[in-house]
Amino acid sequence: MEDTPFHFFSPDEINQLSRMEEADRANEYLYRVLDIGQHMLQCGGEVSRVEDSIRRLCLSFGAERADVFTITSSIVVTIYAHRFGAVTQTRRITGSAYDLRRLELLNQLSRRICAEHLNLEETEQALGKILATPQRGFGMQVLTYALISSSFSLFFGGSALDAAASGVIGIVLKCLDGLIRKTEANAFLSSLLCACLGGLLAGLAVRFHLGDNVDMISIGNIMLLIPGIALTNSLRDMFSGNTISGLMRFIEAVLLALTIAFGFALVAALI
Amino acid sequence: MTDLIIMQLFTAFLGSLGFALLFQVRRERLLLASLGGFLAWGVYLLMGMATSQDVIRYFVASVVLTVYAEILARAVKCPATLFIVTASIPLIPGGSLYRTMQHFMQNDLDAFSRQGLTTVLLAVAIAVGMLFPTAIFQLLHRVRNR
């Protein structure tokens, strides 16, 4: 027998164990970073902004290299550092709705993390606080729908009566949207139903002399439903090099627009 | 004519305000965000005196609104996206996109391809107009940090 002192683990194994421990920590950090990236993407951050933020966050958490690939429906990140090796995580992203206040706060948070090197708990706490900030209430959203509908009815040359009708229909559409959202139905189905109801009410309003021109009433509601912003952003994505994201958004926007036109056309043919 | 112009400027402001509210913009930023829409449509109308090419009018309006957004973003420390999204609302070719699909539904394929091309061209004009100022501001930022 050799008389070297007994070690439970050889130095090589200890080295390996500490690497595994470090990799565990890196995984934990990466998970939070992906949380931030996911919420940024979901509340309307551009792909390039999300990729940039994730890369900066990973580097500030001690990664030597960070490769980030983001499209609108997924994030893939691999970080590498000598002390923990390569660590990869992916995240599937579903559903997004503009929330520019949240985006602003997340942006501030990621800057703060990079500048002050927050630890895991502090990051989690700050993120939780951001996600807990309340959105505008349902009543306010209903009024907003009316405001947008009336504004665009006038913008495109409608009369005051058209604007009023459009505003009222906007309110009805918001209520329908709220109901459909509770059932978590398919986005296209919800747009189709809103378009059908919008077309129907606009037709009825003109028939009962509560409006002058069906097109002028409808355009206000259409501006609410039509994915014009998504179309423009999809081209912006493509021009800034995020071709896949851009194409996905472009096709989504075109299909959604088709659905909405179909909804209005369907009802116009019936009444 | 002037009536329509004033009405359009006013409703462009209100439309941007509406979308700013819908997109949860903070109360302190609402006025600046809505003024962006007013500015964008104002530039579009002004450009009408120089050219009748819609694509150029949209492009210039988009450049101006992005410069506005980038300057504000640095002044009040928040993402430029916030002002770009809300200010571009009056320019967004939503009506044109809808008419495109309407022609498709009516099986009028000639009108569909014409309107479709117009819609995509307008969206390209706006998207490219947003690229230049953003790239220049990023370049300036990088040079200053060096």
Interatomic CA distance for residues A214 and A269, integer angstroms: 13
pLDDT at A6 over 70: no
- Per-residue pLDDT tens over the stretch A59-86: 998 899 999 999 999 999 999 998 888 9
- What's the domain count of chain B? 1
Per-residue pLDDT band at A117 (split at 50, 70, 90): confident
Q: Between residues B106 and B125, which one has the greater pLDDT?
A: B125
Write down the H helix ranges in B23-108: 27-47, 54-76, 80-87, 94-105
pLDDT at A17 over 90: no
Instruction: Name residues whose C-beta falls within 8 Å of residue B65's C-beta, 6 or more positions apart in sequence.
Output: B36, B39, B40, B43, B83, B84, B87, B88, B91
Interface of A with B in 199-218 (CB under 8 A): none
Smallest CA–CA distance, residue A34 to chain B, in Å, is 19
Q: Are A144 and A150 in contact (CB under 8 A)?
A: no
Chain B hits for A240, Cβ within 8 Å: 131
pLDDT at A1 over 70: no
- Residue whose tokens read 């994915």: A227
- Residue whose tokens read 């691999």: A78
Chain B hits for A136, Cβ within 8 Å: 21, 24
The answer to whether A265 contacts B102, with C-beta atoms less than 8 Å apart, is: yes
Q: Which two tokens stand for residue A76?
A: 């893939």
Interatomic CA distance for residues A118 and A60, integer angstroms: 10
Q: Between residues A160 and A185, which one has the greater pLDDT?
A: A160
- Per-residue pLDDT tens over the stretch B49-104: 988 899 999 999 999 999 999 999 999 988 999 999 999 999 998 888 888 988 98
Smallest CA–CA distance, residue A63 to chain B, in Å, is 23
Q: How confident is the model at residue A162, as a pLDDT?
A: 92
CA proximity to A150, closest of A221, A229, A226, A198: A221
Residue ranges per structural domain of chain A: 11-132, 138-270
Q: Work out the angle at residue A100's Cα, subtended by the Cα atoms of residues B98 and A223, and round it to the nearest 5 degrees.
A: 15
Report ipTM for this prediction: 0.90
User: Which residue in the set B90, B98, B128 is minimally distant from A239, CB to CB?
Assistant: B128
Q: Which two tokens stand for residue A240?
A: 């800034």
Interatomic CA distance for residues A260 and B77, integer angstroms: 37
- Residue whose tokens read 């390039």: A48
Provide the edge-to-edge strand list for the sheet that holds A85-92.
A65-71, A74-81, A85-92
Q: How confident is the model at residue A2, as a pLDDT?
A: 53
Q: For chain A, what percent of residues have pLDDT higher than 90?
A: 55
Smallest CA–CA distance, residue A263 to chain B, in Å, is 10
Instruction: Name residues whose C-beta falls within 8 Å of residue B140's C-beta, 6 or more positions apart in sequence.
Output: none
Nearest CA in chain B to A241: B131
A88 φ, ψ (degrees, to nearest 5) = -125, 140
pLDDT at A217 over 70: yes
Interatomic CA distance for residues A156 and B4, integer angstroms: 9
Domain around B55 = 2-145
